[in-house]
Amino acid sequence: MPEFAWKAARANAEIVEGRITAATQARAMQQLRAQGLTLLTIAEAAAMAPVSSLMADTQPSGLGKLFQNDRITQVDILALSSELSIMLKAGLALDNALRVLIGMNAKPAMGRLTQTLLADVKGGATLSKALSKHPEQFNSFFINMIRSGEASGQLSDVLERLVEHLERLKALRESVISAIIYPCILLGVAVISLVVMLGFVVPQFEVLFNDMGDKLPMATRIVMVVGHAFTDYAPIMGIVLFIGFLILRKWWNSATGQRWWQAKALRLPVLGPLVLKYNLTLFARSLGTLMGNGVPLMAALQIAIQTVGNVNLRQALETIPPKVKGGGKMVDAISSSGIFEPLAVNLIKVGEETGRMGTMLLELARIFNTDVENGVKRGLTLLEPLLIMVLGILIASIIVSILLGILSVNDLAV
């Protein structure tokens, strides 16, 4: 029978490891759980190094420490939530689970954060209260979800649903980011190609064309002027572009700039509907998850609205809570905002009439999520050949202009 190496936590937060012989990995896990252990890692011993060696290998050393990024990311928060959910579901007390997590964190910043949470919990604070002291890592949505789990006595179940929510948002963001990588590479290649052509190739023909003057074709003269300006004023152009970039970035991040470009993004032919649905996906999934975990409607609305990144859409959504608070129906408030399509309004209406608002909102988020992914794929299917075509036209124009100049030289020679 195969032998399995494992690492687990006892109920008192003690970390233990060892090896066990069993017919299958599932059987080995069953035997370990029967001993009251919470499994952290398990794998066939023949296919891996000892667990302690693996854990040591995850710690950065040498140059790894020099380039290690100690900033806490949403991926770290997701991992923390997932591991805490598993341990609480396995029966560990909250303080013991946090104590185990301290020893598991390879990133020092996460270790310090978990240590602070443990100190607050041991001091008598609830987990939601301890998390609220770190608003940069845990937003109001996260904290209210934890608070609802504490109130209902189902913290492990709420953490599990929270992890599922965070994983879906992460998958949506990554799908969008992954989709735009290739077009960005194409755009970078286009810029580099133009720089090489204008800065190094075109100047090589300047001596050949110097005596031609006005006899050169217009296209060749234009290319030569642009190439000459590029080589002579490259440092000045670089400084101007850099200063312009800094000014543009400052304006882009300002309230006025964000309002302007986010409004323009919503009006774009193909991108606009995708931006709208992406933001409404965040809103619907957050609101549905909060309501499904017992958070009051008004509080859930306020939190879900803040997850929307587009300032203009957020302002439209902020008209909903006052109408609901005044006694109006949710579907009427949603419909009057003017940003939800009929399908969304009908789903929310069904949810309100059947008392299953949270479920309907999550279904709406799933539909919007699928639409965004499909829309991004379709848009990039059109964008990629368009970028290639534009790049080809620009380079071909430069080459043809130079060839026309060479042919003109040959004609004059004859």
Q: How much is the pLDDT for 51?
A: 39
Tokens of 384: 């990629």
Closest C-alpha among 37, 43, 2 to residue 16: 37
Higher pLDDT, 236 or 168: 236
Q: How much is the pLDDT for 12?
A: 60
pTM for the full predicted model: 0.65
DSSP state of 215: G
Higher pLDDT, 384 or 251: 251
Please, which contacts does 123-127 make with residues 24 or more away whose CB atoms are closer than 8 Å?
126/150, 127/94, 127/155
**φ and ψ of 136, to 5 deg:** -70, -30
Secondary structure class of 17 (helix, strand, coil)? strand
DSSP state of 132: T
Dihedral sign for Cα 182, 188, 191, 194, please: negative
What integer best gives the mean pLDDT of the chain?
A: 80
Quick one: 106 exposed, middle or buried, by C-beta within 10 A (0-12, 13-18, 19+)?
A: exposed
Question: Given a cut of 60, is residue 68 above it in pLDDT?
Answer: no
Higher pLDDT, 112 or 221: 112
Tokens of 107: 């990133």
Question: Given a cut of 70, is residue 13 above it in pLDDT?
Answer: no
Across 248-287, b (16+ Cβ under 10 Å) vs e yields eeeeeeeeeebeeebeeebeeeeeeebbbbbbbbbbbbbb
Q: What span, in angstroms and rounded, lies between the C-alpha atoms of 301 and 308?
A: 11
Mean pLDDT lowest among 177-186, 210-219, 247-256, 395-404: 210-219
pLDDT tens digits along 175-225: 778 777 877 888 888 888 888 887 787 777 776 776 655 577 888 888 888
Q: What span, in angstroms and rounded, lies between the C-alpha atoms of 16 and 45?
A: 16
Closest C-alpha among 298, 365, 293, 318 to residue 144: 293
What are the chain's domains?
A: 3-58 (no CATH), 74-166 (1.20.81.30), 175-414 (no CATH)
Q: What span, in angstroms and rounded, lies between the C-alpha atoms of 384 and 181?
A: 11
Q: What is the Cα 214 distance to its own chain's centre?
A: 55
Residue type (1 letter), 154:
Q
If pLDDT is split at 50, 70 and 90, which confidence band does 246 have? very high
Q: How much is the pLDDT for 281?
A: 87
Q: How much is the pLDDT for 55?
A: 39
